[in-house]
Structure 1
C-alpha cells in the first residue's frame, strides 16, 4: 500500500526546490533521478557508480608491487600491413 505525502515547492536561489517530508527516509545529499511524464512527476535514487576511497589504506602494503600493464606490449608490429615501413612512416 502506498503512502501519500504533501510537499511544498519554494524558491532556492535562482531555482525551485521541493521540500520532501523526513518520513520518506531520504538521506541528505542523496542524488535522485526526477522524471516528468504527461504532467506527473516521479523520482527515484540515482544509480551512480560507487567510488572507493583508498586514501585510508593506500601504501599500507609495501610488499605488493604493481602488476605490469597488459594492454601494451613491446611486440613487433606488422606495419607493412598498413602500407608503412617498419619505422611507421
Structure 2
C-alpha cells in the first residue's frame, strides 16, 4: 500500500471531481468504478472495453451498397510474388 496523498474535491461543470496525482499511475481516459461505504470512497479502474464500430445506421443511407454474395467473394487463382520485388512493367 502506498503513502496516502492529500487532495481536494473541486467543482467541474455541474459535478464534483477529485484530481488524482500522476504518481498514482492513473491513465487519462481510464473509466473508474467509485463506491461509497460509510463515508469512505473507493476508486477502482475498470478493465478497458473492446471498442466496436456500430455501422447499423449507415446501411440505409447508402442504398446502392449491396452485401456480397458467396459467389462475389470467389477470386480466380493467380500466382502471387511474395518476394517483395516489383514486377516488370509495374
- Work out the CA distance in 1 between the residues paired with 2:49 and 2:12: 28
- 1:29 aligns with 29
Gaps of 5+ in 1: 54-64, 66-89
Counterparts of 1:45-64 in structure 2 under 5 Å? Answer: 45-51=45-51
- 1:15 aligns with 15
- 2:2 aligns with 2
SS of 2:36's partner is strand
SS of 1:23's partner is helix
- Number of aligned residues: 54
Give the structure-1-normalised TM-score.
0.52
Detail structure 1 runs of 4+ shifted over 6 Å in the superposition.
Answer: none
- Work out the CA distance in 2 between the residues paired with 1:15 and 1:34: 14
Query: Is contact 1:7–1:18 with CA below 8 Å preserved after alignment?
Result: yes
- 1:43 aligns with 43
